[in-house]
Structure formats: C-alpha cells, structure tokens
Amino acid sequence: SKFEYVKKFEHSNPLLPSTYMVVRIDGRGFTNFTNLHNFEKPNDIRGLQLMNKCAKEVMKSFTEIIIAYGDSDEYSFAFKKSANVFNRREDKILSCVLSLFSTSYVFFWSKYFGDTNTGGQKLLKVPSFDARIVLYPSLEDLQNYLSWRQVDCHINNQYNTCFWTIVQKGGLSTEQAQKRLKGTLTKDKNEILFSEFGINYNTIDEIFKRGSIWIRMISKKEMKQQKSRKPQEIKEQIQQRNQSEQINLEEEKKNGDSDVQDLKGDIIDMSLDVMTSALKISKKELLLVHDDLVEKPAFYEKYELIKKLK
C-alpha cells in the first residue's frame, strides 16, 4: 500500500560482532511489589526460586546464552561471543528475552507462591521488568561484570540481613535501624549479628549471600564425543561434576520436581564461587571451557537442573 514507506523509519541496531552480549533484567518498583506480596525480609526464597525458574526458561529458549546470574529482583544473561541470535539485532534480543522472562514470572508465580485455595500468596498486581543490553569485548570484562553484580548482591544482603534482624528481632523501628547501621563496616555488621543475635553471617544460605548462577554445560553424549579433543584434566573435572549432578537429579525426583523427568544435560545452577571450587578450576577456565563447549549448539536439545551445591 501507499503507506508502506513508513516501514523505512524503522532502524535496526546490529550489535558489534565478537563481543559478549549481556541482557540485564530488573524488577520495576519491586520495593513496593515485594511489600504488597508479603515477601519475607530480607530474602524470600520463593521469589528467588521463581526468578531462577524464569531464567531457566530463558536459557532453554535462547541456546547461545552461556551463563546467567541473578539476585534480588534482577537477572543477567550473557550470550557467547559468537552468538548470532536474531543476527544480533539489539531490539529483537532485548525484547524477546525480556518478554519471555516477564510472562514466565506470572505463569510460574503460583508454582512457588501457591494460590489462595491452598493458603498461598495470590498475585495481586501485574509486575514488570526493565531490561538493557551491555556489550563486553573480553572475557575478563565479562567476569568482572559478573563479579560486580555478585559483590552488589553480597553488600546488599549483608546490610539487609543486619537491618531486618535488628528490626524484627531487636525491636527497633526502621528509622532507628537505619541510624544504627549508618557508617558501619562489614565487620561491624557481622559483629552485631553475632554478638547480639547469635547469627553467624557465614552460615546464611549461599543463595542469599552470593546469588544464583546458571551455566550451560556439556551433555553426557557430547562429552563422549569431545573426549578425544579435550585435555584430560578438564574432562575429569566435568565427569566429577556429572556425578554430583546424578545425585541431585535423584534428590529432585524424590522431591517431586516435575521438570526433572524431561530435563537432561546442560544447565547447571550454583554460585560461581562454589562451582569453581567444586570443579577446582578457575573462573576463567570455567567460562573458557564453556564458551568452547557450546560452539555446537545442535547438541543442546536437553537441559538439566541441579540444586545448588552446599
């Protein structure tokens, strides 16, 4: 039609090749949203599990994502350098990742928060998320990005844990608590927690202290095929991981996680630090390995979830 010329006003923004594309999603106004929905303070495991579930849906759908990291109301997804999803069109990638995450949040809400019939927490208001894409040219920058988010998680959690403890257990008002914590250092806060409330910060769940991570792993089938070309050491580390995986899968089946049956393979959920120490490889190696391993996305038809290692 004679109106079609308006299509020419569209502009596509192809992102620079050979860079890590990171999509970061963050809940809009989740200070209010978490209050309205009675999230436990400072951390509600249901909320984090729901976020993790959404992240997994995204990783299942976008097979060039190699790693995802989340905490609080945010999640970051890093595509491998060679990713060619939507020809690297910024708006397509941003919108499709974000939209799937968003709809998953509502869709799976009752799986984690229950519903009113069963005494659960009803979803009262439509949540929403913002999103952005950031490019990182080198693996080192990507690692520092992930560390940046993890340090942020740590600092916030340290503060919030202390804050809500002195409010909920110490009986202070929120204003008093704020005043009390003003200017305190990490060790001061740990000291307050320990001496006044008998809480050892180090024993708090890893998922609260360090956030969650999904890493795309090689499937067992693929592993066999790669055997010939991978250095022995790395192979063993991954085999070792696969054993613990087995165990966790068994656990999950017992716990009745309905996802487990049809999931096999290559997403793994644990904190970055835990993982690297468990696997006894450096973060750098870890990512390098995976960037390499996912070169053939054709093999990634199946996915596997394991609980965080403790």
Ligand X SMILES: Nc1nc2c(ncn2[C@H]2C[C@H](O)[C@@H](COP(=O)(O)OP(=O)(O)OP(=O)(O)O)O2)c(=O)[nH]1
- Residues lying near a copy of itself in the complex (CB under 8 A): 1, 3-11, 14, 16-19, 28, 57, 91-92, 94-96, 98-100, 102-107, 123, 126-138, 141, 144-145, 147-148, 151-152
Of 22, 23, 24, 30, which lies in the binding site for ligand X, with binding defined by CB under 6 A? 30
CB of 10 to ligand X, least distance (A): 15
Q: Choosing among ligand X, a copy of itself, Mg ion, none, which partner's interface includes residue 185 (Cβ < 5 to 8 Å by kind)? A: none
By C-beta, is 24 or 241 nearer to a copy of itself? Answer: 24
Residue in 277, 219, 206, 212 with CA at minimum distance from that of residue 77? 212
The Cα 198–Cα 181 span in angstroms is 18
Whether residue 14 is preceded by a cis peptide bond, meaning omega within 30 degrees of 0, is no
- For a copy of itself, which is the closer residue by CB, 79 or 129? 129
Is the CB of 14 or the CB of 297 nearer to a copy of itself? 14
**Interface pick for ligand X out of 20, 37, 43, 234 (rule CB under 6 A):** 43
In sequence order, the β-bridge partners of residue 65 are 79
Structure tokens at 9: 């006003």
* DSSP type of residue 10: -
39 binds ligand X (CB under 6 A): yes
Confirm or reject binding of residue 29 to ligand X (CB under 6 A).
yes
Q: By C-beta, is 30 or 214 nearer to Mg ion?
A: 30
Q: What number of other Cβ atoms are within 10 A of residue 36's Cβ?
A: 15
Residue 129's binding partner out of Mg ion, ligand X, a copy of itself, none, with CB under 5 to 8 Å set by partner kind:
a copy of itself
Of 86 and 197, the one with the shorter C-beta distance to ligand X is 86
Asked if residue 52 binds ligand X (CB under 6 A), the reply is no
CA atoms within 13 A on the CB side of 33: 17
Q: Which of 286, 274, 280, 144 is nearest to 209 (CA)?
A: 274
Q: Provide the CB-side half-sphere exposure for 296 (13 A, CA).
A: 10
Helices 272-279 and 139-168 pack at an angle, to 10 degrees, of: 120
Chain centroid to Cα 259, Å, comes to 18
Instruction: Select from 15, 36, 41, 139 the one that contacts ligand X (CB under 6 A).
Output: 41
Residue 96 contacts which entry, a copy of itself, ligand X, Mg ion, none (Cβ below 5-8 A, type-dependent): a copy of itself
- For position 284 contacting ligand X by CB under 6 A, the verdict is no
**Number of shown-chain residues binding ligand X (CB under 6 A):** 16
Q: What is the DSSP string of 15-73?
A: PPTTSEEEEEEEETTHHHHHHHTT--SS--HHHHHHHHHHHHHHHHH-TTEEEEEEETT
Q: Are 59 and 205 in contact (CB under 8 A)?
A: no
Judged by the rule CB under 6 A, the positions of this chain that interact with ligand X are: 26-31, 34, 39-44, 47, 72-73
